[in-house]
Structure 1
């Protein structure tokens, strides 16, 4: 499980859903949660929270990612690549800390990913959980 810490910078509420924007160093991450500031006291602008997401939910891209709907993006360098028969694990060093991604070994080959390459790690807003 990936875990990064940041500070809530904005909360948009609609019904029982909140779109929480969190600043992690200089990178903004958005998470949609089934909570509101009224139902979860930790959902307050300025609070420090943890963003949690599974390694299998981290999408990897190489090259330009301008025209894509995934808002949570951070560039990094592949520090370690462990190739398996079907799945491979990438350890990516980013400005917000290390992120681990597990993708298919076939995708590693298609994208020509090797240790030392620059990649973009992307996480969908609905795949991020928030904790105090």
Structure 2
């Protein structure tokens, strides 16, 4: 599970559904939550959690897309298996990883040092409270 420290900067509510805006070291993230816990309020420091398999990578992406969580990262390591590859990435909020198919790595011609666009759907993020960001 990936973890990036962040600060909750805004909370919008509509009945039990909440839309949160977060700042992860200058990276703007957003997410959806149902039944917001009291510890997740504006100004709270949290850890943003997301699975390695929920990360989408792109090279030289341009134009608008529906993903609200889109930011740049640098590929630091690629561990290739027979079918899957574990990609280590670095961004201003910290280190994290993703798992993609080896075919995707080859199609994107990914190499350590490449800059990629990272995307994670707002519905795929979760929060953990009580951590310094």
**TM-score, normalised via structure 1 length:** 0.93
Aligned Cα RMSD in Å? 1.0
How many pairs were matched up? 129
Asked if 1:99 is matched to 2:109, the reply is no
Within a 5 Å distance, the mapping from 1:14-53 to structure 2 comes to 14-36=14-36, 40-53=37-50
Aligned equivalent of 2:61: 64
Aligned to 2:29, the other structure's residue is in SS state strand
Gaps of 5+ in 1: none
Q: Which runs of 4+ in 1 moved over 3 A?
A: none
Give distance in 2, aligned partners of 1:42 and 1:28.
20
Deviation at 1:125, TM superposition (A): 0.2
Asked if 1:111 is matched to 2:100, the reply is no
Task: Output one character per residue of 1:83-113: Cα deviation in whole Å (capped at 9) or x when no partner.
Answer: 1111101101111111201011111111111
